[in-house]
Amino acid sequence: MIRFLFKLGLSLVVLLLVYNYFLGTPEEKSTSKKIFGEVIHLGKSSWDLLRAEKQKLRDGKYDLAMDKVSQLLNGLENAVVKSGDPQINEQFQDLTNKRDQLLQMEKVATGLSSSETNGTLTAEEKSERLKLLKALLAETELLMNQLENR
């Protein structure tokens, strides 16, 4: 519902700007031209930001986060073994599988295991990887809390 309202509101604003740009008073036309110029500038700035993030990703921006997650999971392994709880062990195995999946995605993204990608990622793929990393951290924190409560 919120998504629909957002799209409707955005459509109304665009329609109003287009109307004012072509059929408005001279003041409304100049305001619309100014807004369109700012939107174009925003698009160019966004493109520059994406190119910079792509380079940071290639340079290993998220490597430190993945290293910390790996260290955390390695440290948790001892606590999981000591707990002897099969449910916690299953959760831990799930977390390590997700970590391995993220590491594999990293290899593909940097072009180490797939020559097709050549290290290029779309914004959607970057967003997906970041979501997976955040979810992995949240699930790891949940497992740590379960181990502390035992």
Digit-coded pLDDT (tens) for 43-88: 899 889 888 887 877 777 777 777 777 777 777 787 788 888 888 8
Task: Assess whether 104 and 140 both reside in one domain.
Answer: yes
Task: Assess whether 12 and 65 both reside in one domain.
Answer: no
Share of the chain above pLDDT 90, in %: 25
Q: What is the DSSP string of 85-150?
A: -HHHHHHHHHHHHHHHHHHHHHHHHTTSS-TTTTT---HHHHHHHHHHHHHHHHHHHHHHHHHHT-
Identify the domain containing residue 117 by its residue range. 61-148
Tell me how far apart the alpha carbons of residues 93 and 98 are, in angstroms, rounded to a whole number: 9
Last residue of a domain, one of 37, 57, 77: 57
pLDDT at 20 over 80: yes
Digit-coded pLDDT (tens) for 110-136: 664 444 444 556 777 778 878 888 888
Question: Given this model, what pLDDT does residue 112 score?
Answer: 47
Question: Given this model, what pLDDT does residue 116 score?
Answer: 46
Number of domains in the chain: 2
Task: Assess whether 46 and 17 both reside in one domain.
Answer: yes
Task: Assess whether 87 and 38 both reside in one domain.
Answer: no
Q: What three-state secondary structure class fits 74?
A: helix
Task: Assess whether 18 and 41 both reside in one domain.
Answer: yes
